[in-house]
Structure 1
Amino acid sequence: MPIMADWVGLCVATSLLVTFLTAAGYALYSGLLSDITVLTGFPPIKKITFVYKFKKGPYESCGELFKESHGIGPKLSCIGVYYDDPKKVPGPQCRYAVGSILSEGESQADEELLKSYETSGFKVFSFPEVTHVVTASFPHRTFFSVLLGMRRVYPRLEHYIKARRLCAHPFLEIYREGLIQFMAPLARQGDFYVPEVRQAERRLVEREDSHSDSEGSGSDSNSEYSSGSGVLPLDSREASPASPVRSVAPRDEEDRGHRGRSSRGTSLGEPGCEQATGGQRAEREEDEKRPEAQEWLGAVVGEE
């Protein structure tokens, strides 16, 4: 009988050891100890056209949209864009867009796939190519990689952005080629806000303006956005669901000290946002040389 008890104990201990080693190996393979390097420079993507669905709610619920989008186009890279800081904005009010990248750079989108996505209720939009972003990457080998990436990468991004007093928002996650690529633009941020966010914020700004005018307080109706959720005033562009169009966003609105935020629970913006980085200044100068930007600037000067 004692021999049998010893044998059972040995089997249990061996089973626990094997389970522990398996779990440890799985965690290591998923990226538990992977190096994380945060950089400022060129983005991991060029100009993209993508399909998306916009939702409000806790970011933990975005997995269903990723699954739906991946199911339609399993060979396409998935993308998530997150607009609010969940430390400041209640979970049910957090806004995000999730979908798949149809084309990048000068490549053309697959028309059949586009129709399939539109039939399932996805909309189409485009993001421009910028030259200065904050970026990092993390292995995407298992489902656990996603959880590890959120826990490990965003604190690094937070430290990097705060230490350098950068203005970086919104936050994108691109899933492709075995990597999760994290990115936040340092310039032309307004062009990374999907129409649903911009329309809602425009209505909010208009209500604030109306309320301020009725009270005669003379307070700045945009103060909520520079210290609260960190959302840009809506002045950059609009686009129809199936016909993405981009225009130049007024630079003074984009760089007015709005706070950036992480998609998964870290506050990445600081008052230093009003200090344009070299990348922001370079892209601002480049944009102002364009005809549409000169026309806008001329209109502003004329109004003054």
Structure 2
Amino acid sequence: MSDLLLLGLIGGLTLLLLLTLLAFARYSGLLAGVAVSAGSPPFRNVTVAYKFHVGPYSETGRLFTESCSVCPRLRSIAVYYDNPHMVPPEKCRCAVGSILSEGEESPSSELIQLYQKFGFKVFSFPAPSHVVTATFPYTTALSIWLATRRVHPALDAYIKERKLCAHPRLEIYQQDQIYFMCPLARQGDFYVPEVKETERKGRGPAEASDAQLDGTGTRAGERGGPAWSPHSRHVGCLWVSR
């Protein structure tokens, strides 16, 4: 009798644990719908403090922790520039940090100096006229994992179906929501200086291979226009090809 009672107790506790985990997953957004749309951006122009990262996106957690520890009350932001399904993980680029101000408001010099003290750089993003956007509940740490696996495929499908060129991919964490935004205009203004620098360095070998002289001494790349696209490695339209 005592063995049956013990087995029943274990079974009851196991069931209770499973129900608790399911409730937690649901609260984290497991069953939340993902609605993707195009229109006005959910945010205005912003000034951000960021750190640039080259490597697997799974390693960016420490950057979020760093930026939040400097000033926990500020919203976190991440900008992803490469499609991790097309670009090797060790070459994926992103910028992660905090939003210092939005709209007409300017960040205080003290706040800027505080972030710079910890190695962050400051950059401003404009408010694009049109974006592809979606939201996802942000209630627990599990929400981030769920959003990564549910929202990005939905964005990919929407962009591919409509043959849009939307890049880079932004994530903004605000209170109980994660906002995803892909600019459809002024896209180059969302590329921090480090991205342009990596592209400048990457452009060298490509230009060297095209630098074959013809009989008049003109370089081949100069006769027919640029042989290299500045967005060839961008998340841009490449994000849809998963």
Fold-level match, TM-score > 0.5? yes
1:6 aligns with 2:7: no
In structure 2, what is the Cα distance between the partners aligned to 1:215 and 1:118? 47
Change (3 A) 1:127 1:260: farther
1:103 aligns with 2:62: no
In structure 2, what is the Cα distance between the partners aligned to 1:39 and 1:181? 12
In structure 2, what is the Cα distance between the partners aligned to 1:221 and 1:198? 17
In structure 2, what is the Cα distance between the partners aligned to 1:153 and 1:50? 23
Question: Does the 8 Å CA contact 1:205/1:221 hold for their aligned counterparts?
Answer: no
Q: CA deviation at 1:205?
A: 2.2
**Match for residue 136 of structure 1?**
134
1:122 aligns with 2:120: yes
1:230 aligns with 2:234: yes
Question: Does the 8 Å CA contact 2:164/2:237 hold for their aligned counterparts?
Answer: no
**Match for residue 94 of structure 1?**
92
* Secondary structure of 1:125 counterpart: strand
**Match for residue 194 of structure 2?**
196
Percent sequence identity is 46
Which amino acid letter does the alignment assign opposite residue 166 of structure 2? A
**Match for residue 259 of structure 1?**
237
Q: Deviations over 1:77-124 (max 9, x none)?
A: 000000111111111111110000000000121322211110000000
**Match for residue 281 of structure 1?**
none
**Match for residue 49 of structure 1?**
47
| TM-score scaled by length of structure 1 | 0.73
Unaligned ranges ≥5, structure 2: none
In structure 1, what is the Cα distance between the partners aligned to 2:3 and 2:180? 53
Change (3 A) 1:224 1:135: closer
**Match for residue 289 of structure 1?**
none
How many residue pairs match? The answer is 234
**Match for residue 174 of structure 1?**
172
In structure 2, what is the Cα distance between the partners aligned to 1:39 and 1:84? 22
**Match for residue 65 of structure 1?**
63
Which amino acid letter does the alignment assign opposite residue 230 of structure 1? H
Question: Does the 8 Å CA contact 1:168/1:260 hold for their aligned counterparts?
Answer: no
In structure 1, what is the Cα distance between the partners aligned to 2:79 and 2:98? 11
In structure 2, what is the Cα distance between the partners aligned to 1:109 and 1:230? 29
In structure 1, what is the Cα distance between the partners aligned to 2:41 and 2:56? 27
Q: CA deviation at 1:131?
A: 1.3
**Match for residue 244 of structure 1?**
none
Q: CA deviation at 1:218?
A: 3.2
In structure 1, what is the Cα distance between the partners aligned to 2:139 and 2:108? 27
In structure 2, what is the Cα distance between the partners aligned to 1:150 and 1:59? 11
In structure 1, what is the Cα distance between the partners aligned to 2:138 and 2:198? 34
Q: CA deviation at 1:35?
A: 1.6
Unaligned ranges ≥5, structure 1: 232-257, 269-304
**Match for residue 242 of structure 1?**
none
Q: Deviations over 1:62-86 (max 9, x none)?
A: 0100011001110100000001111
Q: Which of 110-119 and 26-35 deviates more?
A: 110-119
Q: Which has the higher contact order (CA 8 A, sep 6+)?
A: 2
Q: CA deviation at 1:200?
A: 1.7
Question: Does the 8 Å CA contact 2:199/2:230 hold for their aligned counterparts?
Answer: no
**Two-structure CA RMSD over aligned residues (Å):** 1.8
